Structure 1
Amino acid sequence: MDEDHGTDFDGLAEAYERMATALPLREYVEAHTLFELLGGVEGKAVLDLGCGSGLYTRRLRGLGASAVTGIDSAEGMLDHARRRAAAEGLDITYLARTATDPPSAGDPELDGRFDLVSSVYVLCYAPTREALTGFCRTARRALRPEGGRFVFATLNPDVAVEPGWYTHYGIDFTISPATRDGEEAPAVMKVPGFDEFPLLPYRWSRQTYEEALHEAGFGSVGWVWPRVSDEGIAAHGEQHWANYLKIPHALYAECTT
């Protein structure tokens, strides 16, 4: 988890890992949709922007990516990620970076080195339009000069406001219509059993995302509705997922140069 919330997440890496396995939504929808969009990663260099505890960097390496790097501003998350990777014998690079403010002189450890950039629930934590564009610039600069793809999951700007809409899936939201300085105020996302998480994502509009991505140098932006894996349907049935798929809390995007 990158950016202004970085220090909030420093001591929460273990809880973050537990949440990944405690919520079926994360495996059956989030991971399934993300890896479908990423496609085969064998032999590719992949950057996880806002890698948090390293959950997805480890999976990417296990799927055959030739090189995996995770960046985050929360040192506690990075420490946990390094320990887990070492314990599992995985060669993964973790770097401390403030991705909302890429250096004007460039970053030789990141720029032009990757075939794919992935990011899960990170861009929605940009507190300002400028910070959002910074995230996008970091992703664009990281891709190889000959091209590449940026795949991310973010908060659905049209997230359901009806109380209890997502309770069935282990999450819930408190939505405020208030704005601050003309920009959308954050929504409060609650995860029962994980009250220690200060989850305050911003409901940036699709247009705002697209403007930031184009400004950063991406040419094409395609929005993707989340999908449920066959395993998720087998485990819980189609009806279980009906409300979520009608108004999901997250949307996914595939961006190309």
Structure 2
Amino acid sequence: MSGVNEDYNAISSVYSQISKLPLMVLERQLVAHALSSCKGQTILDLGGGNGIHARKALELGASSVDVVDISSGMLKDGKTITAASGVNPAMIRWFEGDISSTLAHLPLHKSYDVILVGWTFDHAETEDQLLGMWRNVTTYAATGAKLINTRLAYIPKAEETDGIEKYGFLYPDYKEIPGGISYTYEAFTDPPLRCPATSLTNTLDFDESKSIARQHGFRDYQVVDSEQMDVVKEDPAFWRRFVDQP
């Protein structure tokens, strides 16, 4: 994935701020809901960045988490945050690797009970890279494993962005490309965080995404209902735009 390492190394010191933005508060609740039954389970966090979901998984009772990310800067920050968080750092291992390529060189476990892929499918620039990510999911998934994935389902064009700023993000530089859309995601951090991304049609479209999941052995691919999350229940009017078009 061209340039992704450099992109995330450049923003790693600011990245932890996005956890406070409304969209990411919702995302954490969605992932925590999906992780709720992970007690005693082993977890592989592909593209896990600074380990925000890895730490939550341990809070929820996971036995261990292995984080793989392409950015050495994100991993370094993750170790620092984890050391200050009260989570036992020995329960998280950190590995630098490109999850669109083979990870056979890393001393990962043979299989895991849960595979986490947070937003990382939105950095596949080609079908080959996307399939490489899915190969790693299936390579390390134990029989009966759960896959938890967050992804963009809608990227607004410039004329469609009215009202979405309140969630903490904009998506400038929108450009249609063969097989998908390229754009920049801009987070309202201080300083503003900007990073290029690509979403292929077969990750944006749920039916196509579900079909790919089925092809790779995940036969019960579901969307967690945002309206059931506490942050949405507390202010449904604020979240109406998102609920209508996630």
Asked if 1:60 is matched to 2:81, the reply is no
8 Å contact from structure 2 (residues 182, 196) kept in 1: no
Q: 1:185 to 1:90 in 2, by over 3 A?
A: same
Could you say which residue in structure 2 is the equivalent of 1:15?
14
Report the residue type matching 1:183 in the other structure.
G
* Structure 1 segment 196-211 matched on structure 2, within 5 A: 196-205=193-202, 206=205, 208-210=208-210
Q: 1:13 to 1:198 in 2, by over 3 A?
A: same
Provide Cα deviations, 1:17-56, integer angstroms capped at 9, x if missing partner.
11112x12211x2111112223311100011110111111
* Structure 1 segment 3-42 matched on structure 2, within 5 A: 4-21=3-20, 23-27=21-25, 29-42=26-39
Give, in whole Å, the separation in 2 of the partners of 1:42 and 1:171. 33
8 Å contact from structure 1 (residues 53, 80) kept in 2: yes
The answer for unaligned runs of 5 or more in structure 2 is none
Give, in whole Å, the separation in 1 of the partners of 2:214 and 2:223. 18
Could you say which residue in structure 1 is the equivalent of 2:77?
80
* Structure 1 segment 91-170 matched on structure 2, within 5 A: 91=90, 92-102=92-102, 106=104, 109-110=107-108, 112-144=110-142, 146-156=143-153, 158-161=154-157, 162-170=160-168
Identity of aligned residues (%): 18
Give, in whole Å, the separation in 2 of the partners of 1:147 and 1:133. 21
Could you say which residue in structure 2 is the equivalent of 1:255?
none
Q: TM-score, normalised by structure 1?
A: 0.81
Asked if 1:242 is matched to 2:243, the reply is no
Give, in whole Å, the separation in 2 of the partners of 1:101 and 1:52. 17
Q: What secondary structure is seen at the aligned counterpart in 2 of 1:80?
A: helix
Provide Cα deviations, 1:73-122, integer angstroms capped at 9, x if missing partner.
1111111112222333432101111110115xx46733532100112111
Q: What secondary structure is seen at the aligned counterpart in 2 of 1:109?
A: coil
Provide Cα deviations, 1:169-203, integer angstroms capped at 9, x if missing partner.
12122363532xx3223122222335342142324
Give, in whole Å, the separation in 2 of the partners of 1:214 and 1:3. 28
Give, in whole Å, the separation in 2 of the partners of 1:49 and 1:226. 23
8 Å contact from structure 1 (residues 61, 90) kept in 2: no
8 Å contact from structure 2 (residues 164, 170) kept in 1: yes
Report the residue type matching 1:101 in the other structure.
S
Runs of 4+ in 1 over 6 A off after TM superposition: none
Shift of 1:140: 1.2
Q: What secondary structure is seen at the aligned counterpart in 1 of 2:226?
A: coil
Give, in whole Å, the separation in 2 of the partners of 1:219 and 1:119. 14
The answer for unaligned runs of 5 or more in structure 1 is 249-257
Q: 1:233 to 1:149 in 2, by over 3 A?
A: same
Asked if 1:187 is matched to 2:187, the reply is no
Q: What secondary structure is seen at the aligned counterpart in 2 of 1:51?
A: coil
Higher helix content, 1 or 2 = 2
Give, in whole Å, the separation in 1 of the partners of 2:80 and 2:166. 34
Could you say which residue in structure 1 is the equivalent of 2:226?
227
